[in-house]
């Protein structure tokens, strides 16, 4: 399974896995590979959050 929600680090392209809680809370994300700090823009990431929520629901429903 390789469909975990996340984003690629703009600096080192490392796939950063982000939890839904992290996205929704709006806290900054630190790239575990290079240490780059990513600030989440709640407005801009609204669509991404909704997509992640849908995915999460789909995963829960499939169990």
Contact residues toward Zn ion (CB under 5 A) are: 9, 11-12, 14, 31, 33-34, 36
Extended beta strands in 1-63, E state: 6-8, 15-17, 29-30, 37-38
What is the smallest separation between the CB atom of 38 and Zn ion, expressed in angstroms? 9
Say if CB 5 and CB 23 are below 8 A apart.
yes
Quick one: 10 or 44, whose CB is closer to Zn ion?
Answer: 10
Strand segments, DSSP code E, in 9-47 are: 15-17, 29-30, 37-38
CB of 41 to Zn ion, least distance (A): 18
Instruction: Tell me whether residue 14 or residue 53 sits nearer to Zn ion (CB atom).
Output: 14
């Amino acid at each position: 399974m390789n469909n975990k929600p996340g984003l690629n680090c703009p600096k080192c392209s490392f796939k950063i896995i982000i939890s839904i809680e992290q996205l929704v809370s709006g806290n900054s994300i630190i790239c575990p590979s290079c240490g780059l700090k990513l600030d989440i823009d709640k407005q801009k990431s609204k669509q991404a959050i909704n997509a992640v929520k849908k995915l999460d629901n789909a995963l829960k429903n499939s169990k």
